[in-house]
Amino acid sequence: MILEYVVIAAGIFISHFLNGTNTLEIWGNKPDFMILFVLFFALRKGALAGLWIGFFGGLLSDSGLGGEIVGNVMTYKIGLHSLTFCLMGYLIGKFARSAYHENYLSITLYSLVITLVTRVATYFLFSLFFHENLSYSIFSTSIYNAIIAPLFFYLLGKLYRLEQAEA
């Protein structure tokens, strides 16, 4: 049981590391592996796994944002990705698992729509609490995630030895 959590935590750190590298950058666009990781576990293991993996993966993503000086106050953007990722993980695990089918088209569409919705929600939170982040890519990341999601899901399925869970 504890080994399973350690391996999932390692996957969260690897996804965070992959988000920070430029090795998969194509024409200035990068995928968001953390969204795909949360989506994979939400669809395979359910709402509770999606919630917790989304929360900790989001916190790790937020920690990479750093701080910003506004006036004389240092502000940190902790909680933006965490909120959207854990809500996304929970809602997908709770309501979308029954309609999910393990095929190329299903994985591609789920990752496209979920990445798009999650990125829009995170952008809205950025704008609401801080300022508009004009460099935050929404559409290109969603399309890139949709393209690589089937391969990423296949690799995660083999790595974690998870068959599609029954709804």
Model pLDDT for residues 35-60, shown as the tens digit of each residue: 999 999 999 898 999 999 999 999 99
Domain 1-160 indexed as CATH 3.40.50.2300: no
Model pLDDT for residues 98-151, shown as the tens digit of each residue: 777 788 898 999 999 999 999 999 989 888 887 777 677 889 899 999 999 999
Rounded to the nearest 10°, the torsion over CA 31, 144, 39, 8 is -40
Arithmetic mean of pLDDT, 85-102:
88
Task: Report the share of the chain in percent with pLDDT over 90.
Answer: 47
CA distance 46 to 167: 8
Q: At what angle do helices 33-45 and 80-91 cross, to 10 degrees?
A: 30
Extract the tokens encoding 137: 């890519």
Look at the chain and count its residues. 167
DSSP state of 99: G
Q: Which of 64, 50, 49 minimizes the C-alpha distance to 13?
A: 64
Could you write out the three-class secondary structure of 57-93? HHHHHHHCCCEEEECCEEEECCCHHHHHHHHHHHHHH
Task: Kindly report the pTM of this predicted structure.
Answer: 0.89
What is the residue-averaged pLDDT of the chain?
Answer: 86
Place of tokens 């998969």: 24
Q: Which of 12, 68, 38 minimizes the C-alpha distance to 149?
A: 38
Task: Report the share of the chain in percent with pLDDT over 70.
Answer: 93
